[in-house]
A and B are shown apart, each in its own frame.
Chain A
């Protein structure tokens, strides 16, 4: 079995986001970038399946600027066998990403495609479901547990009401939740080894799909600020404020 894992390079989750003065977007220059957190879970799960002898190859693919190679390289350092970078500068929407991934799937013919359930930059939560629709494959979104059972996957999904279990035929798409597993850190020897693993470079423009943005980003602004609060010195004072000042209890 072959598993393709899509990984995205995003602003690190610990970075305080700043909006550009001209409202054209957020500041990305000299800002720490990392792999989108649930994409780390996706890679981890694929590597675990391979280690359990149930997959022969794990391929990491990223779509984005040249520097997204670092994100692919990181996936290789934690156990992916080879990488693909589809180079594309500028804004690329989930619809375009899923069309490009569809091309990669047609070429690589994986049995499973894993990715994070949501990217923490645009917070869209679309790509996996879109790819699944384009391929007419089953989808298991927000996965917190995956079991492989002869030609099928049993997946536990995190939903608003609690948990849901579904069974899907392979080939399938799985979008991973943060609770799926505990992503490992890359060891230094594995980081060194990853440097020798191949990364295929492709240009998005060569893959024959329309990736032009359909959504115009009119402006990006800072959210309204909350007015500063106060510190209370005791529980009694807190309750009195909630009762008489805020009038919420």
Chain B
């Protein structure tokens, strides 16, 4: 059984000086599923995200998204192709209001739309909806830098969702977040997945990964060493070996 391909990389390689962060990583993710990338610290997970989203340029290798080559495209074009992402240490625009943080991600359209007022009624309504979805509608006027850590995480997610991605890359969604919020984020991922969004999640919280994800890729020293559903990964000796070193 092969699920339709979503994001796929062939022989992706990235070196930083003498360190090889990605070493010919060939990985395929399943469309419409909740995928995960796990692996020990420094195994290249975040570098992988940065390469496929165009934030850093891979030295060699190819990235395709649903059959289209996106290897050397700039990040904004990759975003426009339907891939949204969050960042490892959650990143918001600190001196912009929560509402503006979400509005920024609205799909821009042509030149005329860009020059018109940012607060078009339809967009504002949609942005408020996402904020309300996160339980933050009462905070829309607050500068994002003044929000708590957990609120910023939710705000970042609301912004990504505003850009209407088909595929969402989450970099450690549970990092530094209290258990109640982890449950909420997991529920949100499930709900969005049911609505058709594909997820690719980098995460250290094994309970979350094993419960939430359907397809797991294990990275070690910049290359995949195992891939499969949680039941297979859990019993794979190579995975255990990689984590124990």
The answer to whether A and B assemble together is no
Residues of A within 8 A of B (CB): none
